[in-house]
Amino acid sequence: MIESAAYEIIKREGYEEGLRQGIEQGILKAIELGLELRFGAEGLKLYPEVKKVKEVEKLEALSEALKVVKDLEEFKGLLKDYLGSRE
């Protein structure tokens, strides 16, 4: 019975981690597309830095920011702030 409970916990944790990684990858793809559509090749140069952000909440905020930032410099500032606050 104990093995079964441990197995279920491990299985659930694995599922949750896989789901988180899938969400992260989807948001990263959205940001990549947004950078390309809004800022072209110059925007895509930032993508390697964006991939360093691992917190899903910050990636979601960056994705949303692409809709409203006035220029690439404003987006760079947000990205720098998020990278600077990494733990």
pLDDT band at 20 (very low <50, low <70, confident <90, very high): confident
- The pLDDT of 9-14, averaged and rounded, is 86
Indicate the pTM of the whole model: 0.81
Distance CA 23, CA 38 (A): 22
Give tens-digit pLDDT for 24-79. 999 999 999 999 999 999 999 999 999 999 899 999 999 999 999 999 999 999 99
Answer for the pair 72, 39: CB distance below 8 angstroms, yes or no: yes
pLDDT band, very low/low/confident/very high, at 2 (cuts 50, 70, 90): low
Establish how many alpha carbons lie within 13 A of residue 3's alpha carbon, considering only the half-sphere containing its beta carbon: 0
Average pLDDT of the residues in 9-33? 89
